[in-house]
Amino acid sequence: MDRYAVLGQPVGHSKSPRIHAAFAASLDQKLLYEAYEIAPDELGPSLSRFHAEGWAGFNLTVPHKLAGAALCESRSDAAEQAGAVNTLIRTTSGWHGDNTDGAGLVRDLIANLGVEIRGKRVLVLGAGGAARGILAPLLAEGPAELAISNRNPWKPEEIAAALKPLGNIVPRTHLSLKGDRYDLVLNATSAGHAGAIPRLPPKLFADGGVAYDLNYGQAAVPFMVWAKADGAARVSDGLGMLVEQAAEAFRRWRGVRPETAAVLAGLRG
Ligand code: ATR
């Protein structure tokens, strides 16, 4: 039986084993998917050992996405553009790194939530690994404007310069957003894990504007509450993105994309 796992620290809260078990059951596939707590300095040796043991693939979560990219013998375009990997696919001699986070987000926005990106003004908050992973897939959807704003004002400049070959990303600071309106504001900061939100000027949402937090559970609550009070017409957490990125990983491993609606409904229920 093919073996897979999510590697992270902490990883005990991960919903990935449940999601992949549901995908496998829905397609009548037999596989094993586990969760392993791995410290950062153990990632390299662990991946070598897992390869020798015959494991078929891994998902990487916090804090391994950046370091994991360097440990892969090859990487997809999505992984190169994100500078991070969340999915490892076994090769004969090592691991191929891919990144399905951005594809998962775009799929959740467009297919599940019916949120348009093409021709819209889109703002990404945060400039860490989570933000970086979604910018190229968002650009590919053809927004009228894609802006990125961060607490540390230098990081958006660096990211915009690095992704310049892919398209125009407008680097902003939180303060400079005053007076601007966006159709879609994505919170890719980790502030919510500390119960906080980025310090933003008020009235950030255009009419019908949507707020989306890449986090889910408690970590998404502060931003969603703020966004509603600020005038967002709709707010969503990132649980759908989690399920969709998992479906994309499953497709890369197993060659078939599972249906996600029932799995997402089950997690929400
Ligand atoms: P991740 O991989 O989840 O993106 P990260 O690389 O550590 O994690 O990045 C965290 C992001 O959240 C950064 O953009 C960080 O802003 P800084 O670059 O200024 O540190 C942002 N962030 C974290 N806590 C925040 C807070 N309380 N207010 C605003 N931004 C915050």
Q: What is the pLDDT of residues 133-168, one digit of tens each?
A: 999 999 999 999 999 999 999 999 999 999 999 999
Instruction: Give the tokens for residue 89.
Output: 């696919």
In this chain, the answer to whether the domains covering 2-99+244-268 and 102-237 adopt an identical fold is yes
- The pLDDT value given to residue 114: 98
Q: Is the dihedral of CA 248, 182, 220, 113 positive or negative?
A: negative
> Taking 90 as the threshold, does the pLDDT of residue 268 lie above it?
yes
DSSP characters for 84-121? --SEEEE-SSSEEEE--HHHHHHHIIIIIT----TT-E
| Residues 122, 105 contacting (CB under 8 angstroms) | no
CA proximity to 209, closest of 180, 175, 167: 180
Domain ranges of the chain: 2-99+244-268, 102-237
CA proximity to 3, closest of 39, 45, 52: 52
Please tell me the pTM assigned to this model: 0.96
| Residues 142, 116 contacting (CB under 8 angstroms) | no
State residue 187 phi and psi, 5-degree precision: -90, 105
- The pLDDT value given to residue 253: 98
Calculate the average pLDDT of the chain.
97
| Residues 224-246 pLDDT 10s | 999 999 999 999 999 999 999 99
Q: What gap in Å lies between CA 109 and CA 184, rounded to an integer?
A: 10
Average pLDDT over residues 93-112: 98
Atom of ligand 1 nearest to the CA of 174: 29
Query: Is the distance from the beta carbon of residue 156 to the nearest atom of ligand 1 less than 6 Å?
Result: no
| Residues 168-219 pLDDT 10s | 999 999 999 999 999 999 999 999 999 999 999 999 999 999 999 999 999 9
The secondary structure of residue 237, as a DSSP letter, is: -
Active site residue ranges = 65
| Residues 72-84 pLDDT 10s | 999 999 999 999 9
Average pLDDT over residues 102-110: 98
Domain covering 2-99+244-268, topology: Rossmann fold (3.40.50)
Buried b (16+ CB within 10 A) or exposed e, 238-264: bbbbbbbbbbbbbbbbbeeebebeebb
Residues contacting 70, CB < 8 A, separation 6+: none
CA proximity to 201, closest of 256, 112, 125, 269: 125
Query: Is the distance from the beta carbon of residue 173 to the nearest atom of ligand 1 less than 6 Å?
Result: no
> Ligand 1, residues 9, 86, 124, 151: which to mutate, most atoms within 8 A of Cβ?
151
3-state secondary structure at position 222 = helix
Query: Is the distance from the beta carbon of residue 195 to the nearest atom of ligand 1 less than 6 Å?
Result: no
| H or E element, residue 161 | helix 154-162
- The pLDDT value given to residue 240: 98
- The pLDDT value given to residue 129: 86
How close is the Cα of 139 to the center of ligand 1, in Å?
Answer: 21
Residue found by looking up tokens 């897992």 in the block: 50
CATH of 102-237, one of 3.50.50.60, 3.30.70.2750, 3.40.50.720, 3.30.70.1520: 3.40.50.720
> Ligand 1, residues 158, 190, 245: which to mutate, most atoms within 8 A of Cβ?
190
| Residues 22-69 pLDDT 10s | 999 999 999 999 999 999 999 999 999 999 999 999 999 999 999 999
